[in-house]
Amino acid sequence: MDLRAGDSWGMLACLCTVLWHLPAVPALNRTGDPGPGPSIQKTYDLTRYLEHQLRSLAGTYLNYLGPPFNEPDFNPPRLGAETLPRATVNLDVWRSLNDKLRLTQNYEAYSHLLCYLRGLNRQAATAELRRSLAHFCTSLQGLLGSIAGVMAALGYPLPQPLPGTEPTWAPGPAHSDFLQKMDDFWLLKELQTWLWRSAKDFNRLKKKMQPPAAAVTLHLEARGF
């Protein structure tokens, strides 16, 4: 390659041409498909918002149930709430979850929790409480749709509900009112734990989906100089 000093004008013209066509480079084109990143971010934000919203709602509802359910150190054994999806999981297991399984678990958990929560809303005695629960249910429905959107963006199919496993809120005759209150307590507690876990799940997904630092290598052919 033989560069002469008199060709500096030519190099400048070439650089300008490259910069002019820079938007056309596919890796830098912002108008293209942004991928699942923004959806994950929105889902993460939504979980944080719901977490904040649930804190207020749970306080009101547990007061409505009365002591000992509204006592801060009340931590009863998880009796009669086996049907609720568990949020707690071993850390290694959680780390080893792949994206699809992680998202599927979230989707299934919120589907069940939303169903239980609607049953809770139907039983609430005060109008104010019903309004708060309905508002929260709407938000939770939005979270569910957001998770479904992320799964669709990543090409994962939505889990199909198994027939006969549709959760119901119809306590049997042997289900006492006290146990019902325990179920309500555990529903709210599990919901809170799921929102914490989801925030971590989507934060992990967000970091995973984040593209590496933009490094554009321009291969300039100096032929003709």
Partner 1 sequence: MRSAEDDAKTPEQSFWSNWSSWEEVDVQNSLGHDPLFVFPKDKLVEEGSNVTICYVSRSPQSNISCYLEGVQMQGEQLEPNVTVFNLNHVAFIRETGTNIYCKGDQGDSIKGIVLFVSKVLEEPKEFSCETQDLTTLNCTWDPGSDTGLLKQLSQSYTLFESFSGKKTLCKHKSWCSWEVAPESQEMYNFTLTAENYLRKRSVHLLFNLTHRVHPMAPFSVLFTDVSTTNATMTWKVHSTGNYYTLLCQVKLYGEGEVTQHNVSVEVDGEQLFSGLEPDTEYRAQVRCANANHFWKWSEWTHQNFTTAEAAPSEAPDVWRNVKSVQGHSVVTLFWKPLSKLQANGKILFYNIVIENLDRSSSSKFLSIPAPANGTELNLDQCSYQIHVTAHNSVGTSPASVIIVSGDPGNKEVEEERVKGTEDGFSLSWKPQPGNVTGYIVEWCDRPRGPLCDLQWKSVGPTTTSTVVSSDAFRPGVQYNFRIYGISTERVPYLLEKKTGYSQELAPSDNPQVVMSNLTSRSFTLSWKDYSIESQPSFIQGYHVYLKSKAGQCHSGSEKAVLSDDAVCCKYKIDNPKQKTFVVENLQPESFYEFLVTPYSSVGEGPHGAFTKVTTPDEYSPILIRVILPMVFCILLIMIICYLKSQWMKEKCYPDIPDPYKSSVLSLIKSKENPRLTIMNIKDCVPDSIEVLNKQEGTRKSLTETESSKPTYLYLLPTEESYSGPGPCICFENFTYNQAASDSASCGHVPVAPKAPPSQLALLTSPENLLKALEENYMNSLGEIPAGETSLNYVSQLASAMTGDKFSLPTNPPEPALCSEYKMQMAIPLGLASPPSSGSSSLSSFTLLDEGEHYH
State in angstroms the smallest separation of the CB of 82 from partner 1.
16
Q: Which residues contact 60 (CB under 8 A, 6 or more apart)?
A: 129, 132
Spatial contact of 149 and 162, defined as CB atoms under 8 Å apart = no
Q: Which is nearer to partner 1, 64 or 156 (CB)?
A: 64
Q: Which is nearer to partner 1, 67 or 224 (CB)?
A: 67
Residue 69 CA to residue 81 CA, distance in Å, equals 15
Q: Which is nearer to partner 1, 125 or 162 (CB)?
A: 125
Backbone CA torsion sign across 176, 178, 184, 190: negative
Q: How far apart are the first and last CA of the chain?
A: 8
Q: Which residue has the tokens 């820079």?
A: 22
State in angstroms the smallest separation of the CB of 170 from partner 1.
16
State in angstroms the smallest separation of the CB of 67 from partner 1.
4
Q: Which is nearer to partner 1, 68 or 161 (CB)?
A: 68
Q: Which is nearer to partner 1, 78 or 100 (CB)?
A: 78
Residue 18's CB is within 10 A of a number of other CB atoms, namely 12
State in angstroms the smallest separation of the CB of 176 from partner 1.
5
Spatial contact of 203 and 51, defined as CB atoms under 8 Å apart = no
State in angstroms the smallest separation of the CB of 117 from partner 1.
17
Angle at Cα 84 formed by Cα 149 and Cα 195, nearest 5°?
45
Positions in the binding site for partner 1 (CB under 8 A): 64-69, 71, 76-77, 79, 123, 125-126, 176-178, 181
Q: Which is nearer to partner 1, 65 or 115 (CB)?
A: 65
State in angstroms the smallest separation of the CB of 139 from partner 1.
24
Residue 18 CA to residue 219 CA, distance in Å, equals 10
Among 189, 51, 49, residue whose Cα is nearest residue 120 = 189
Spatial contact of 205 and 106, defined as CB atoms under 8 Å apart = no
